[in-house]
């Protein structure tokens, strides 16, 4: 609802009228601020803007203020300000974000033959909202789903390039993204090309295997086909500070994986079985997707064994040679050139090559428009622009593994050479 105020500035304003006027603007500002995270300009600036527009008008007017308003810089008004007529202000009461829009960044926008959409997957793939300095605070899983739905409903998009730059992420979060890609291909039957940037490992590579073609930069890091569960034994550390856990539990395995005590062998076997199952799912997807393209190797004899069991076998038997293990599936990473030799990717190239390939597969002309899917407050100047969405593990300048127990542990398709991922992985 709008609020109305009759003001006749042919006569000096009374103290009451000035109070009413500022109160009205202030109420509008507070309502807008409460409803939307984007702050408006101060009430004083809003009032100045209105008075500048209607200054000098001698006849009654009706001013309607709505939408977003922001003022920057220095402003000043000298002399008398006169305003008469009726002023109506309207403020939104919802708190919804802007919808994903297609922003043309390359090619001819007027080309009606079809467009190529770039969908970026950057950073850790986790099903939670990120927070941090200069962060958009987006949930990667929710954002990806929104982009997929946009493409499903946009008949002008004829091909998709997945621009992947991630070491991986949560097993479930990764699987959700992969499922959305499969659904898009079934719904629209359009080509999907994956382009691996600096890093395409773990869940990033898992997602790429759901595309029709995979292009990797020659210097990309590819692979990491494995599963990791971050678990730590902090029993001795707690003891040094005289911190003695006193758990009250029902169910012997309810604190399975707790860092407060040493993990039992039977408990490790339970978690190992879960990791093996997730690993087998990953391997099956790669074999199903890459098929005969994969370099032929013998079955992975040592896969699925715990470190302790593997060490025991190494004592009783000869060390396993490279020909006896399936190197592709042991979690190691490869360069883009090596990944081509192993059959993990189809070719090496750059993002431009992946875009050209997707256009050819869709039968589009060379100058087909390339679009990014962005919100209205997200920059989109080139195909390399990334939505700022960096996680913040802690306000402290240190990272202590295992402390963020509210966000850990979780099974991860993740290449993890850096321990700080423990607290950022959530």
Q: Mind listing the pLDDT tens digit for each residue in 189-245?
A: 999 999 999 999 999 999 999 999 999 999 999 999 999 988 888 888 888 888 888
Within-domain flag for 65: yes
Q: What percent of the chain has pLDDT over 90?
A: 40
CA separation for the pair 274, 415 (Å, rounded): 18
Distance CA 192, CA 43 (A): 50
Question: Within this chain, do residues 41 and 172 fall inside the same structural domain, yes or no?
Answer: no
Domain identity same for 67 and 120: no
On whether residue 324 sits in a domain, the answer given is yes
CA 77 to chain centre: 46
CA distances from 93 to 30, 31, 35 (A): 11, 8, 5
Mean pLDDT of all residues in 377-383: 79
Residue 151 lies in a domain: yes
Question: Are 313 and 392 members of one domain?
Answer: yes
Domain contains 241: yes
Strand order of the sheet with strand 411-414?
A: 168-170, 411-414, 228-229
For 305-349, what is each residue's pLDDT tens digit?
344 444 444 434 344 334 434 789 999 999 999 999 999 999 999
Residue 371, pLDDT > 80, answer: yes
Q: Are residues 45 and 123 in the same domain?
A: no
Region of 229 (left: φ > 0; alpha: ψ -120 to 50; beta: rest) is: beta
Residue 96: inside a domain: no
Is 19 part of any domain? yes
Based on the fold, state whether residues 233 and 342 are members of the same structural domain.
Answer: yes
Q: Dump pLDDT digits (tens) for 46-55.
A: 454 445 444 4
Whether residue 157 sits in one domain with residue 11: no
Domain end marker among 33, 62, 89: 89
Is 84 among the domain residues? yes
**16 — pLDDT class (breaks 50, 70, 90):** low
* Count of structural domains, the chain: 2
Q: How far is CA 155 from the centre of its chain?
A: 25
Q: Does one domain contain both 19 and 139? A: no
Average confidence (pLDDT) over 352-379 = 92
Residue 68 sits in the same domain as residue 117:
no
Please name which of 386, 416, 396 lies closest in space to residue 226, comparing C-alpha atoms.
416
| pLDDT 10s digits, 105-151 | 887 656 667 999 999 999 889 888 876 555 567 889 999 999 999 99
Lowest-confidence pick of 24-38, 163-177, 273-287, 351-365: 24-38
Q: Are 77 and 52 in contact (CB under 8 A)?
A: yes
Say yes or no: 54 and 105 in one domain.
no
Of 58, 89, 120, the last residue of a domain is: 89
Cβ(157)–Cβ(114) below 8 Å: yes
Beta strands 61-65 and 115-122, pairing class: unpaired
Q: Is residue 95 domain-resident? A: no
pTM of the model as a whole: 0.68
Residue 215, domain extent: 101-424
Asked whether residue 46 falls in the same domain as residue 75, the answer is yes
Are 273 and 137 contained in the same domain? yes
| Same domain as 141, residue 83 | no
Residue that finishes a domain, picked among 23, 55, 89: 89
Q: What is the CATH number of the domain that holds 255?
A: 3.90.226.10
How far, in Å, CA of 196 to CA of 167, rounded? Answer: 11
Give long-range contacts, CB 8 A cutoff, 24+ apart: 313-318: none
Q: What residue has token string 């500048």?
A: 52
């Amino acid at each position: 609802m709008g609020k109305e105020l009759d003001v006749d500035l042919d006569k000096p304003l009374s103290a009451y009228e000035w109070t009413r006027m500022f109160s009205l603007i202030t109420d509008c500002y507070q309502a807008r601020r409460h409803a939307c995270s984007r702050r408006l300009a101060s009430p004083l600036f809003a009032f100045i803007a209105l008075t500048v527009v209607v200054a000098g008008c001698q006849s009654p007017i009706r001013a309607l203020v709505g939408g977003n308003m922001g003022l920057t810089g220095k402003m000043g008004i000298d002399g008398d300000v006169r305003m008469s007529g009726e002023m109506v202000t309207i403020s939104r009461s919802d708190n919804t974000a802007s919808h994903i829009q297609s922003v043309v960044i390359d090619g001819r926008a007027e080309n009606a033959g079809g467009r190529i959409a770039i969908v970026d997957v950057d950073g850790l793939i986790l099903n939670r909202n990120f927070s941090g300095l200069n962060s958009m605070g987006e949930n990667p899983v929710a954002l990806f789903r929104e982009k997929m739905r946009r493409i499903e409903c946009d008949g002008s998009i004829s091909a998709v390039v997945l621009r992947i730059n991630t070491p991986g992420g949560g097993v479930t979060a990764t699987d959700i993204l992969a499922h959305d890609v499969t659904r898009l291909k079934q719904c629209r039957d359009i080509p999907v090309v994956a382009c691996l940037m600096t890093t395409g490992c773990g869940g990033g590579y898992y997602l790429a295997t759901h595309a029709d073609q995979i292009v990797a930069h020659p210097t990309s890091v590819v692979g990491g086909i494995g599963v990791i569960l971050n678990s730590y034994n902090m029993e001795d550390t707690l003891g040094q500070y005289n911190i003695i856990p006193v758990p009250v539990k029902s169910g012997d395995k309810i604190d399975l994986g707790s860092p407060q005590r040493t993990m039992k062998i039977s408990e490790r076997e339970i978690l190992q079985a879960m990791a093996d199952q997730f690993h087998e799912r990953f391997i099956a997807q790669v074999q199903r997707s890459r098929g005969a393209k994969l370099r032929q190797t013998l079955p992975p004899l040592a896969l699925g064994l715990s470190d302790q069991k593997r060490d025991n076998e190494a004592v009783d038997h000869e060390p396993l040679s490279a020909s006896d293990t399936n190197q592709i599936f042991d979690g190691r990473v490869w360069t883009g050139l090596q990944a081509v030799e192993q059959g993990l990717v189809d070719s090496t190239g750059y993002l431009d090559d992946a875009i050209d390939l997707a256009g050819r597969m869709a039968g589009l002309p060379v100058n087909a428009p390339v679009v990014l899917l962005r919100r209205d407050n997200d920059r989109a100047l080139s195909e390399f622009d990334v939505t700022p969405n960096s996680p913040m593990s802690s306000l402290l300048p240190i990272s202590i593994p295992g402390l963020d127990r509210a966000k850990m542990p979780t099974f991860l398709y993740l290449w993890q050479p850096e321990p700080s991922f423990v607290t950022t992985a959530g």
